Structure 1
Amino acid sequence: MGLRFIFMLTRNDRTVPDASQQLQTALGLGVRHIGFKDIGLPLEQLKGLNAAIKAGGATSYLEVVSLDRESEIVSAKAAAEIGVDVLLGGTRVDDVLPIINGTAIQYFPFPGRITGHPSVLEGTIEEIVESAKAIAGRAGVHGLDLLAYRSAQNVPELMQAVCAAVSKPVFIAGSIATPERIAVVQGAGAAGFTIGTAALDGKYPADGNDVPSQLTAIIRDVAALNKHLSPIRKKSLAAAFAGGVGELLNNTQIKVAVFKDASNWSFRAHGDELFFVHRGCLLMKFRDREETIEQGEFIVVPRGVEHCAVAVGEECEVLLATAAAPSAE
């Protein structure tokens, strides 16, 4: 799916008190990677937050911000008890690996020297790269969590150097608040990035400062970088025939669907999908726009493009044409 956006339910390295409410907003917009910190809420609430993330079909992340050995050990044990999918951060690999051994947790520790709160990455690019290579080479380490924008070094150069030095995925954390910085992250070869405070405080360039507007803008910008936006506009059936559109579709499934209210955000991994409105009206949401498809009109959604179909009115009857999934031979 390309560059991964991880929405952190955190502000200034602490899980926010209204994390559960913000989580439902994120899930409703189709955010699939959601994390929190090991401080800010009691353990039982963090367990509930993790369960809600997974119930919503998203991957859960816990980022460790502990600064001493004992606290980091406690945090790693908490991650195992909570049952998160991914453990981000921390620097004491020798202490953490035995704790998460035997679990399904993926581990992405910090390379370099981490100090302060909020955390700061210290050291030269060369020192951070050497740390990254040593940590990424450890069995049980799945990738790195790089606090690039918390470093005083040349950040693009730092990210490129670390990503080039290791064969495992690198996530970029800390102070990413503009589409330009996200583009730099992708250009450096990183696998993903985290945004928390910027979105919660309305600092990301968007149509509004509220969290739904912030997340919508971030998702749209990431989709554009990943080339997951649809260039195809709606057409009327009459216009399609007049234009000579009549190609045969091989291995195509034709089915009828009745839409009521809104479907979930989704995408097809294999093959494009055609929506022809037989009766009623359909609103098709994309990450960068919305299209209203009236009766007698259709729209094609390319594979890999996230979309959400919403019935305008009580219900909408739609003829669907989709490529059959490839066989498992």
Structure 2
Amino acid sequence: MGLRFIFMLTRNDETVGDAEQHLKTALAAGVHHIGFKDVGLPFERLKDLNAAIKAGGATSYLEVVSLDEASELASARAAVDIGVDILLGGTHVDAVLPILAGTDIRYFPFPGRIEGHPSVLAGTIDEVVDSAVALAARDGVHGLDLLAYRSAENVTGLMAAVCAAVDKPVIMAGSIGSRDQIEIARRSGAAGFTIGTAALDGDYPADSPELETQLRSIQRDVAGVNKHLSPFAPKNLDRAFATFSDTWSPRIAGQVNNMMVKLAKFEGEFVWHHHEVEDELFLVHKGRLLMKFRDRDEIVEEGEFIIVPHGVEHCPVALDGVCEVLLLEPATTVNTGNADDARRVTDLAHV
């Protein structure tokens, strides 16, 4: 699925006062993972916020940043009450696990020693890794919330070391604000990362500081890092067919999985043949096509297509001059099939 972007409705470890408005912007921008923190708004508003996130089709996250045990347990109980999907953060795992038992909430506590507010990750890489290993081994812990960019250690090394040491997903948090940092998180083996302040303050590199532009830029960069961007633009059939004049010599115009999209010009009658394992689709772009079968003839007009199953002997014939045909067939298909004919083409050009 790739690296996951979690938009946090937070600034400086607090849920922002206008979170509801920012949520509308995030949902309109197509953000699918949205979170907030356990401080900054009353729990009743957090409950409404969570409901709105889920009503918008997104996954909800509550991140605990309270440092004392009583506040953290209150936040865990609130997470159960408001029905969040994922509980991030917190350090009092032994006390939180019984509260979450029997719920569907997925739990990602902080590894390492967390200090201050806004929170920072203290300790050496080895110490954080030891903590991560111990936490990941616990039943009821589904993953880890690593404050990687709040550590004074080598962040790249820290992320890679934690991800290599545990077999559960690790989410990177703490002041991520550029594509380079997102790429580093991906290379480390992270399952996801959070961004809040950078987007809300308009600091993420983008064409505008407006939140919608910020979020779309982050999503574009995540898609690029995940290699989920499409290189394809629309292809005009008239222009593509105009690039060649040879008949009975298909050109490759595209590929869908193992299926080739081919363009061919037919003139006159082809050879009787069949294909042992490949089905073919013939769509007439211009002209008229006669498809001969042993039991009947079918005429295919412009805008119509016909499917020829494998094993069925057939003979295409262009009526009324040149016929332009789009073919959809497996990459292994040879135009003459089982027939020995001079018009056989095995090395296809592209258009």
Shorter-chain TM-score: which interval? 0.7 to 0.9
Q: Which residue of 1 aligns with 2:122?
A: 122
Unaligned runs of 5+ in 1: 253-295, 297-320, 322-329
Q: Which residue of 2 aligns with 1:218?
A: 218
Q: Which residue of 2 aligns with 1:263?
A: none
Map of 1:66-215 to 2, 5 A cutoff? 66-215=66-215
Q: Normalising by structure 2, report the TM-score.
A: 0.70
Asked whether 1:14 is paired with 2:19, we answer no
SS in 1 for 2:205: coil
Counterpart residue identity of residue 30, structure 2: G
SS in 1 for 2:163: helix
Q: Which has the higher contact order (CA 8 A, sep 6+)?
A: 1
SS in 1 for 2:103: coil
SS in 2 for 1:228: coil
Q: What is the deviation of 1:235?
A: 1.4
Counterpart residue identity of residue 113, structure 1: R
Q: Normalising by structure 1, report the TM-score.
A: 0.74
Distance 1:249 1:231 in 2: 13
SS in 2 for 1:222: helix
Unaligned runs of 5+ in 2: 244-250, 260-302, 304-327, 329-351
Counterpart residue identity of residue 239, structure 2: A
After superposition, give the CA deviation of every residue in 1:226-258 in whole Å (9 maximum; x if it has no partner).
111110011112123345457898999xxxxxx
Counterpart residue identity of residue 182, structure 1: I
Larger Rg over CA atoms = 2
Q: Which residue of 2 aligns with 1:62?
A: 62
> Identity rate of aligned residues, in percent?
69
**Aligned CA distance change for structure 1 residues 235 and 81 (closer, same or farther; 3 Å):** same
Counterpart residue identity of residue 8, structure 1: M
Distance 2:258 2:16 in 1: 49
Distance 1:239 1:100 in 2: 61
After superposition, give the CA deviation of every residue in 1:263-312 in whole Å (9 maximum; x if it has no partner).
xxxxxxxxxxxxxxxxxxxxxxxxxxxxxxxxx9xxxxxxxxxxxxxxxx
Counterpart residue identity of residue 94, structure 2: D
Counterpart residue identity of residue 74, structure 2: V
Counterpart residue identity of residue 211, structure 1: L
Distance 1:17 1:211 in 2: 15
After superposition, give the CA deviation of every residue in 1:59-97 in whole Å (9 maximum; x if it has no partner).
000000011111110010010001000000000110000
Q: What is the deviation of 1:153?
A: 0.3
Distance 1:250 1:185 in 2: 29
Distance 2:188 2:254 in 1: 41
Distance 2:256 2:34 in 1: 38
Q: Which residue of 2 aligns with 1:32?
A: 32
Distance 2:121 2:32 in 1: 27
Distance 2:199 2:254 in 1: 45
Q: Which residue of 1 aligns with 2:231?
A: 231
**Aligned CA distance change for structure 1 residues 247 and 113 (closer, same or farther; 3 Å):** closer
Distance 1:225 1:248 in 2: 23
After superposition, give the CA deviation of every residue in 1:5-46 in whole Å (9 maximum; x if it has no partner).
000000000001111111111111110000000111111111
**Superposed structure 1 runs of 4+ greater than 2 Å apart:** 239-252
Q: Which residue of 2 aligns with 1:23?
A: 23
Distance 2:145 2:58 in 1: 19
Matched residue count: 254
**Aligned CA distance change for structure 1 residues 83 and 248 (closer, same or farther; 3 Å):** closer
SS in 2 for 1:235: coil
Distance 2:125 2:57 in 1: 37
